Amino acid sequence: MSRTVKILVVDDIEQNIVALEALVARPDLELLRAYSGAEALELLLDNDVALALVDVQMPGMDGFELAEFMRGSPRTRHVPIIFLTATDRNTHRTFRGYEAGAVDFLYKPFDPHILRSKIEVFVQLQHQKLQLAEQLDTMTQLLRTNEMFVAVLGHDLRNPLSAIVNTAEVLLQVSAEPRVKTAAARIRNSGGRMSRMVDQLLDIARVRSGRLELSPERIDLTVLCEHIVEEFELPEGERRVELAYTGDTFGEWDADRLSQVVSNLVGNALQHGTADEGISVKVDGTDADSVKIAIRNAGTIPAEVQANIFQPFNFTKFRRDGGKGLGLGLYIAKELVRSHHGEMSVCSDTTGHTVFTIHLPRHFVHGPVDEPAQAEKQWVF
């Protein structure tokens, strides 16, 4: 839809304004008339203008003084000014005009094609400004919707979900009927999966809104990984994941968030890797400035899957979980690593193995994280 752009014309002579109106008349332009500097300032208080065409020679407040007033006000200091004058060319006057904040200085009689071209530039800039303002308003509305969604997930959904899971646990304990116990187990398992999905959606909402908070403390990554590995041990005591470490593995990180990352990667390795050999987790602290974690399993990831493996809502036909998840695990894991100013990558080649590698700065870095590549941001939540 076409938007009307306003241009302010300031001149004490009526015929000059009429001539300018005839020169630049077009449907998407509205010319605001001012016959003095004072009238121009009044119009600027009530209108957002793309350009001011100002005559230099005016009684009372001349064009230079008007420009100085405009530059002194936060509302009008960024309005482009083109001075128009019928006086002889004078280097001193031209310099004074630019010093007052003009973007151009034209002497009458001027070429109408040149003036139209100059006006067109500022009209297009104004159209872009209005478009950006609309986009900003849309993004603001999306963020508000996102915050409302987080509030619903954090309270309105999790409370009844907890009641469902707890009721299923009670049924498993008090009922001796096999059919009841089977149904209760299904409810508990489904509720647990739903709870994990809610947690993932909460995390992704926090990441996209920039509200993900970290609590860094001095921890040992080897100990953290050891606890995760123990959680995946079978009841019979069979060890499915081998842990090895070297060097100094201490640093400043958020233990809960990194536990979430490592748990996700180890769980994926156990679920999607082949049974040819076990899973290995290696923590390398030999570098003075960073610590590396490498999680390795047998099996390969197709190249076409690797290309988008860290994208959100990544559903592929190669998934072995039957599509029961949201496809957010690896995306959230990478974002959590990024929030520590670290990096996460995957390598899966002809050797028959897949390795996810995490590089973490040893000391926590405060401040904003670099924006991800544009390809990682082309989605709306």
* Contact by Cβ (8 Å): 13, 2: no
* Percent of all residues in the chain with a pLDDT value above 70, rounded to a whole number: 83
pLDDT at 286: 95
pLDDT band at 376 (very low <50, low <70, confident <90, very high): very low
d(CA 205, CA 198): 10
Instruction: Report which of residues 65 and 145 the model is more confident about.
Output: 65
pLDDT at 185: 87
Task: Look over the chain and give the mean of its residue pLDDT values, rounded to a whole number.
Answer: 81
Q: For strand 250-253 and strand 217-220, is the pairing parallel, antiparallel, or unpaired?
A: antiparallel
Which of 97-101, 110-114, 357-361 has maximum average pLDDT? Answer: 357-361
Structure tokens at 182: 């089977």
- pLDDT exceeds 60 at position 372: no
* Percent of all residues in the chain with a pLDDT value above 90, rounded to a whole number: 18
Residues 237-253 have a mean pLDDT of 87
- pLDDT exceeds 80 at position 217: yes
Other Cβ atoms closer than 10 A to 4: 9
- pLDDT exceeds 50 at position 381: no
- Closest CA relative to residue 228, chosen from 291, 285, 279, 289: 279
- pLDDT exceeds 90 at position 113: no
pLDDT digits (tens, 9 = 90+) for 70-94: 888 888 888 888 888 877 666 776 7
Residues 106-130 have a mean pLDDT of 84
pLDDT at 209: 65
- pLDDT exceeds 50 at position 378: no
Question: HSE on the CB side for 40, CA within 13 Å?
Answer: 30
Quickly name the fold that domain 5-110 has.
Answer: Rossmann fold (3.40.50)
Quickly name the fold that domain 217-377 has.
Answer: Heat Shock Protein 90 (3.30.565)
Instruction: Report which of residues 294 and 188 the model is more confident about.
Output: 294
pLDDT at 153: 67
d(CA 165, CA 188): 5
* Contact by Cβ (8 Å): 232, 195: no
pLDDT digits (tens, 9 = 90+) for 248-300: 999 999 888 898 899 889 988 888 888 777 899 999 999 999 999 999 998 88
pLDDT band at 192 (very low <50, low <70, confident <90, very high): confident
pLDDT at 225: 93
- pLDDT exceeds 70 at position 29: yes
pLDDT digits (tens, 9 = 90+) for 120-167: 888 888 888 888 888 888 888 877 777 677 667 666 777 788 888 889
Look up the pTM and report it.
Answer: 0.54
Residues 63-71 have a mean pLDDT of 86
pLDDT at 190: 83
